[in-house]
């Protein structure tokens, strides 16, 4: 069942989104050559717990995994698309890093993600820079399409047009979601496969996470033996960007900015 939010509830979700954005900003600032994923995880967890909140990912057990997620952030490197476990892997200059983070604050949930190149954009390959830029553009057009009276297919088709137009793949069956009291609520928000003008009608009060995931290669993906890390099947690079978006009478409002 879809839970539509009041203005007061959207305000609470914005507070949770801002906390996640603050944690992600700190992780982005700390990420560099020689830093481990575990160190980044500790930074994010400290910011969240210091605010009186709890990490939304830590201990999370969805239907597709046999074990709870062990970290505060999902840290996915190079060919890892999403759900990378933040272990002791040491980052190197030029790595493509995607970070996803969530938090529960006063009964409401924040969730957002970004991708970056370790060592700065000048150190990464032109292909990786273009992949990240295209992922951000796919997110931008998806957000722009999230307006009252539009359809879910308008979001999905806008994202897919950017992805396919750039010559990229994306993992089939993975996409965004509703968010509120829980991290994953109805409805699902596909990154493609749904034509414009089709799907559920969008209306004010709906809060969703839009999160395009792009592969430099084909669509196929595999899951590591850890039961969590999703990788491109062909070993190509991947990027992931996500924002929480409230659909309002005045248009889409991003709730996960600092």
**Domain spans of the chain, in order of start:** 7-254
| pLDDT, position 124 | 86
Going residue by residue through the chain (258 aa), what tens digit of pLDDT does each one get?
A: 899 999 999 999 999 999 999 999 999 999 999 999 999 999 999 999 999 999 999 999 987 778 999 999 999 999 999 999 999 999 999 999 999 999 999 999 999 999 999 998 788 899 999 999 999 999 999 999 999 999 999 999 999 999 999 999 999 999 999 999 999 999 999 999 999 999 999 999 999 999 999 999 999 999 999 999 999 999 999 999 999 999 999 999 999 998
| pLDDT, position 90 | 98
Please give the CATH number for the structural domain made up of 7-254: 3.90.230.10
| pLDDT, position 58 | 97
Whole-model pTM? Answer: 0.97
| pLDDT, position 184 | 96
| pLDDT, position 64 | 74
User: Pairing relation of β-strands 243-248 and 251-254?
Assistant: antiparallel
């Amino acid at each position: 069942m879809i839970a539509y939010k009041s203005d007061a509830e959207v305000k609470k979700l914005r507070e949770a989104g801002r906390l996640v954005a603050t944690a992600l900003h700190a992780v982005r600032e700390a990420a560099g050559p020689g830093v481990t994923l575990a160190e980044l995880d500790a930074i994010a967890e400290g910011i969240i717990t210091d605010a009186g909140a709890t990490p939304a990912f830590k201990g999370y057990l969805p239907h597709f995994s046999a074990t709870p997620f062990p970290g505060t952030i999902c840290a996915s490197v190079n060919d890892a698309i999403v759900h990378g476990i933040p272990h002791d892997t040491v980052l190197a200059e030029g790595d493509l890093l995607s970070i996803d983070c969530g938090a529960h604050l006063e009964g409401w949930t924040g969730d957002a993600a970004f991708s970056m190149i370790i060592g700065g954009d000048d150190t990464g390959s032109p292909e990786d820079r273009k992949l990240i830029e295209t992922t951000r553009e796919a997110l931008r057009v998806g957000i722009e399409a999230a307006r009252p009276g539009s359809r879910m297919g308008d979001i999905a088709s806008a994202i897919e047009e950017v992805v396919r137009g750039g010559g990229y793949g994306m993992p089939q069956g993975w996409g965004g979601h509703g968010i509120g009291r829980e991290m994953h609520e109805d409805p699902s928000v596909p990154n493609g496969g749904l034509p414009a003008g089709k799907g559920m009608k969008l209306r004010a009060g709906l809060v969703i996470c839009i999160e395009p995931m792009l592969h430099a290669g084909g669509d196929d993906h595999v899951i590591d033996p850890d039961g969590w890390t999703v990788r491109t099947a062909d070993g190509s690079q991947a990027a992931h960007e996500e924002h929480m978006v409230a659909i309002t009478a005045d248009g889409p409002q991003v709730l996960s900015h600092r």
